[in-house]
A and B are shown apart, each in its own frame.
Chain A
Amino acid sequence: MIRLAALLLAGAVAAGCGARAEEPPAEEPSFSVPALVPVSGDVPDAVRVAIPRLAKDSAERRARRITVRVRNVSCLGIGVGSGFAIAPDVLVTNRHVLAGADTIEVSTWDGRTLSADAAEVGVLGDLGLAYVRGRLPQVGSYGAPPKRGDEVTVVGYPGGEELTLAPGTVIDLPPGRRYGIEGRVMRLTSHVEPGNSGGPVLDRRGKIAGVVWAYELNTGFGLAIPVDTLRRLVREGGFEPVPPCGSG
């Protein structure tokens, strides 16, 4: 009995101690150390880079640059109107702005004064061209023919004072014969005063949509010659020398 008990005890001990420990995983514990990237000098270099000046050429700035103030010195006195450049030395204005001039002088937005060597006026429309000695600040570019409802801006020197920009819309384009001129006339909601005559009507992109010509006395609406009429008359000619003083 005793032997049997000892045998069983030994077996039990052997069985207890015989529990085998778990084997470590076969694969080695490892990790991949990412390569160190040294701090580059990009950031300090970026700090030293000067921020370039903004080259903003807004429509407003362009409008100021293409528009000029026209002074007509005639036997009747001093007359003032507006105009705009269609070439570095050619400007468009109204016939009645140039009429009777002994001397034509042009003031630019930046304070320069240029003299006109020659001038001519439209036979059919109230348009005039003046050829100046020197370079005008900026040449305007023609836009598309205006349509009813288009947003426009009238630029000029009302009363010969400072340059103003008067926003508005195209009301309609009635036939010009109602006003005694060729082609169509552009009626605008923009405020127009004496001195605005000959100034540009600009579209939303700052391109030329017409030439300010007059305003309706009964409604106060501004009147302008559309750009297509201007282009046609400039292309086809139809200009004559400036009428002498007193002849209208």
Chain B
Amino acid sequence: MIAVAAVIIAAGSTYIAYDNKSRAEDWEARVFRLERNTEQLNGLLVERSTQLNERTRELNTLAATVTRQQNALVRSESDVETLSDRQRELAAEKAAVEDSRAALAQQSAVLEGVADTLVSCNSGLLELFGYVVDGDRASADAIVGDVSASCALAESRLADYRVRYG
């Protein structure tokens, strides 16, 4: 009886020991697979980190380029503004010069008119003087009125010119 019990107990113990060994092997295999997965994940992590670093480097380059271009754009806008201001100044100066040119042209035209009357007066006086020298009193009397009027006109226009232009 006792012997039978001992056999049964021994058989049970043997079965349990065998089963535990099998489970230990399963756990061992599982650990192996997990270690392999961990290695793969580490590899992936390194690869991703490398990519991330590369992308960060490119973004930094891009940021630096954008900053340079922005600075250049600001300088360019400033230059354009300066040039535009200068263009307006030059346009104003040109307009003022054209005002002066127009005023001078007008003054010149008026002066030309004064000169014409003075020339006419001078011609008349020379003609009159010739008649007086020649003793041609009749001819002198005939033109003296016109010469006098011509010289009066010249004097008047010269006075107007002086009043207007100083």
Q: Which residues of A contact B (CB under 8 A)?
A: 3, 7, 10-11, 13-14, 17-24, 28-31, 33-34, 36, 39, 43-44, 46-47, 50-51, 53-54, 64, 69, 71, 73, 77-78, 80, 103, 105, 107-111, 113, 157, 160-163
Contacts and interface: CB of A to CB of B under 8 A. Distances in A.
Contacts of A43: 55, 58-59, 62
A133 B20 CA distance: 109
A12 B87 CA distance: 110
Nearest to A16: B13
Contact of B41 (A31, A36, A160): A31
Q: How large is the interface on B (under 10, 10 to 19, 20 to 34, 35 or more residues)?
A: 35 or more
Contacts of A160: 95-96, 99
Interface of B: 2, 5-6, 9-10, 12-13, 16-17, 19-20, 23-24, 26-27, 30, 33-34, 37, 40-41, 44, 47-48, 51, 54-55, 58-59, 61-62, 65-66, 69-70, 73, 77, 87-92, 94-96, 98-99, 102-103, 106
Given A28-B33, A77-B103, A113-B94, 12 more contacts: A10-B6, A20-B16, A21-B20, A29-B33, A29-B34, A31-B41, A43-B58, A47-B61, A50-B69, A53-B73, A71-B98, A77-B106
Nearest to B70: A51
Contacts of B96: 160-161
A6 to B, nearest CB: 9
Given A18-B12, A43-B62, A78 B5 contact: no
A185 to B, nearest CB: 29
Contacts of A109: 88, 91
B23 A23 contact: yes
Task: List the 9 shortest-distance A-B pairs measured between CB atoms, nearest first.
Answer: A111-B91, A43-B58, A107-B95, A162-B92, A18-B16, A14-B13, A14-B9, A21-B20, A21-B23
A17 B94 CA distance: 114
A78 B55 contact: no
A33 to B, nearest CB: 6
A54 B91 contact: no
Contact of A20 (B19, B27, B41, B106): B19
B62 A107 contact: no
A22 B77 contact: no
Contacts of B66: 51
